[in-house]
Amino acid sequence: MTLTLADIERWDPAAIAAVFDAAIKRSYGAHTASAALGETMRLLDFGGDAAEAARAATHRTTLILDTHADACETVGHAAAKSAEEVAAIKLRLQTIRGTARDFHLTIDNATGAVSPPTNLLSFSPGDQRVIVDEAVRLTESINRLLADAECADEDLAAAIRGADGDLSPEQINAHLSHEPPKMPQVPPPGSDPETVKK
């Protein structure tokens, strides 16, 4: 789906930041619970099969808690990055709208098209040229803004998919880096099969 200027106007960086705060708090809580569980097991002094079973169960639980905490932290940082991107894009849009007003230009929220005033011919030839030049410049600025908004939207979608468990923390970080995915390389002939599995 292609974003419009109207979509950007509806974005709320404060709501996105609230997700960041909640995810970071959840991460902290999960790390704290994991540490407390591990510490509690160290304080217990008993042996036998029950002790071994308790230690194994505690170890599995702390691993689950730590993995969950790491995922929450990654989602939180992704949401924070998205909130910053959204705030910056909204500020740029506000600046573009101010410039359009200054030059009597109209911006179509659905298409991003910039139109000169209907009374353009009532301006002097020099002013007409300045207004038309500014319309062209603003159109280019809006196109760049919309491209950046698409990127921010993809970052936010990655954070949401991560919160839903559809993306791992590594996949979220790879997406946010905006680098192409690393493709596996064909191993050289005669490679050790154990090395190839890695």
pLDDT of residue 124: 95
Please name every residue paired with 107 in a beta bridge, in sequence order, or none if there are none.
Answer: 114
Q: Which residues of the chain have pLDDT under 50?
A: none
Complete DSSP assignment for 38-60:
HHHHHH----HHHHHHHHHHHHH
Report the predicted TM-score, pTM, of the whole model to 2 decimal places.
0.72
Q: Are 106 and 115 contacting, i.e. CB atoms less than 8 angstroms apart?
A: yes
pLDDT of residue 1: 62
Domain ranges of the chain: 5-177
pLDDT of residue 100: 97
Long-range contacts of 112-121, Cβ-Cβ distance < 8 Å, separation of 24 or more: 112/4, 112/5, 112/139, 112/142, 112/143, 112/146, 113/139, 114/138, 114/139, 114/142
pLDDT of residue 192: 78
pLDDT tens-digit series, residues 163-184: 777 888 888 888 777 766 566 6
